[in-house]
Amino acid sequence: MTDATDAADAADARRIAAALRRSPVYVAPSFASAVPGPERLVEEIKRAPMPVFAVIVPLVPGGEWPDSGHLAEDVHHRLGRDGVYLTLDADSPGRIRAYEYGVDRDAIEAAGAVSLDRTMDSASLTDKLIRCVRLMATGQAHAAYQRQTEALNRGDGAQPKTPRRSGHGEALPYAVGGGAVVLSGVAALLLWRRRRMAQIHGPASRRPASRPAATTARSAAELREHATAELIRLGDSLEDARGDADLLQRALDAYAAAGKVLDTDRTVPGLAGALVLIDMGRDAYEAARKGKVLRPSPLCFFNPLHGDGPVPVRWRAVGGRDRIDVRACAACAKAVRDRETPDALIDGTIPYYEVDPRGSVWSATGYGQLRDDLVQRVLRGDLTSRVRNHPDH
């Protein structure tokens, strides 16, 4: 639990990873007094249904990691084990940060609920960490976070000392129509994610952008870089957005869903899905900004990476009985008219829409063209089983 090394050694990811192979809790010597009874936390983690690793080390300016996110990524890479990684905030050591790798336990919201809970203000760091683990283990993280943000809206919750500063799970005042509202759920993580991703990948250009899926990138690595830049750009637009609250909430939900895909999926179909979600977020944002009715303009049904899907097409899949109405790019629409096979996005070895819809949210929704609940499906976790069962994982 507490490794008897000096402060410099405690900041070494290799030593931390080695310690975590022996115990799920690593506490740097300088933080030993702040984590009384760490064995209680170890026992709580052992009872949890998901792997949890607590890395309690100081984060100092000019140190090995600029923030807790870099620390979690470094330790996760060196340890090579998926799960929830709990760390401390670089600017507020009493605040917990949570990062998920290969699991979906609403860890961000669990950490946020603990941070906003005024009854936890005087609790020890050990008790805060235990509370966070319990919320994830019992599936109560989302509900607890919503309760705390609702209390904050009413004015009887724990108001953050710096309300415009973002963090994992923090509620953020957000300008809508000239007023301030508190966004609940994962959408409230907008500023944290945008700044976090910008730290890793660099700031996105503020130049007017074409549709997010308009790219020549096709490999997973290229698509991920492109999608990350587009997500940062959407976040830039949304940070100080004003307009219709419902439309902005839709944009934020799509933003959060795209971020969730990027966090969990490394496949080309998944990254294409992230771009579709970003595109949905941009459509909603533009409608809110211009004061117009939202009229989504979908991407090509057969392959969203083709870009816009302006052409209505009535199409019947090979072996299928029913014709469906979708929108496609000009090239795919022509292929359908000529009774040829469109240049479809391949998932594994077959077109994505031929994948069993029970195992693919993209197949089940046609990237949002067959059903209008793609964002909600991703946010509620439908993506998890598809990623887990995909041959690339």
pLDDT confidence of residue 240: 72
Distances (CA, A) of 382 to 126, 279, 361: 33, 20, 7
**The two three-digit tokens of residue 212, written as one number:** 């997010």
**Mean pLDDT for each 10-residue chunk of the chain (393 residues)?**
40 86 94 93 96 92 75 90 91 84 88 88 94 95 83 53 32 35 42 47 42 64 85 84 88 92 89 95 92 88 92 80 87 91 92 92 95 91 56 47
- The CB-based long-range contact list for 41-44 (8 Å cut-off, 24+ gap) reads 41/126, 41/129, 41/130, 41/133, 42/1, 44/130, 44/133, 44/134
Q: Nearest-CA neighbor of 48 among 24, 71, 72?
A: 24
Task: Give, in degrees to the nearest 5, the angle at Cα 77 between 74 and 80.
Answer: 140
Please give the helix or strand (H or E) that residue 85 lies within, else none: strand 83-88
> What's 345's DSSP letter?
P
Q: pLDDT value at position 102?
A: 87
Encode pLDDT of 65-82 as tens digits.
Answer: 777 888 888 899 899 999
Going from the C-alpha of 358 to that of each of 49, 162, 255, 273, 320, the distances in angstroms are 24, 44, 24, 16, 17
* CA-CA-CA-CA torsion sign (372, 378, 383, 384): negative
Helices 141-154, 107-116: crossing angle, 10 deg rounding: 40
Output the pTM of the full model. Answer: 0.52
Say what the pLDDT of residue 210 is: 52
The answer to whether the CB of 216 falls within 8 A of the CB of 196 is: no
Residue 330 has a CB neighbour count (10 Å cut-off) of: 14
Query: What backbone phi and psi angles, to 5 degrees, belong to 87?
Result: -135, -175
Give the closest residue to 390 by CA, choosing from 211, 261, 258. Answer: 261
Question: Residue 241: beta bridge partners?
Answer: none
CB 231, CB 259: distance < 8 Å: yes
pLDDT in the model for residue 43: 96
- The SS3 of residue 178 is coil
The set of residues, in sequence order, having a beta carbon less than 8 Å from that of 310 and lying 6+ positions away, is 297, 327, 329, 330
